[in-house]
């Protein structure tokens, strides 16, 4: 549902549900969850036909989803494992290796934070 319409973006409220939320026994199971989220859809083009309260379909490309997964999980996992193995090999101390591996993620997430606007432009949703 359209929350607000800006000059270059549309703010949309979506209901995020888990995969099992549509199951017939979901009301008896605690695994099914749903929550509302606000998503900014950037560079929407012509928004003259949209009004606040309209129902819209928000989409994302497979390429965008893969890039988001890589940035959020793939690269941090590789950094964590590589640093863990290297420090473990050099020191033979598991505790130091674990702490070093976790601390190695701080610069990575710092760089992601610094480039968040550029990443937001590349990883954007679109209206169908």
Q: Return per-residue pLDDT of the chain as tens, 128 residues.
A: 888 888 778 888 887 766 665 666 666 665 556 678 888 887 667 777 888 888 888 888 888 889 999 999 999 999 999 999 999 999 999 999 999 999 999 999 999 999 998 988 888 787 87
Structure tokens at 22: 């549509």
**pLDDT for res 86:** 97
Q: What is the pTM of this model?
A: 0.69
User: Which H or E run contains 50?
Assistant: none
**pLDDT for res 46:** 74
**pLDDT for res 37:** 83
In 3D, which of 38, 34, 32 has the Cα closest to residue 14?
A: 38
Number of Cβ within 10 Å of residue 41's Cβ equals 20
**pLDDT for res 60:** 81
């Amino acid at each position: 549902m359209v929350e607000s319409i800006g000059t270059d973006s549309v703010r949309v409220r979506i209901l995020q549900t888990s995969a099992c939320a549509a199951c017939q026994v979901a009301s008896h199971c605690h695994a099914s969850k749903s929550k509302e989220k606000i998503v900014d859809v950037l560079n929407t083009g012509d928004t003259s036909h949209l009004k606040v309260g309209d129902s819209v379909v928000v989409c994302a490309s497979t390429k965008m989803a893969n890039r988001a997964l890589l940035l959020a999980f793939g690269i941090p996992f590789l950094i964590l494992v590589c640093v863990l193995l290297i420090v473990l090999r050099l020191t033979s101390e598991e505790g130091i290796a674990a702490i070093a591996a976790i601390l190695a993620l701080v610069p990575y997430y710092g760089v992601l934070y610094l480039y968040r606007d550029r990443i937001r432009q590349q990883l954007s949703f679109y209206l169908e």
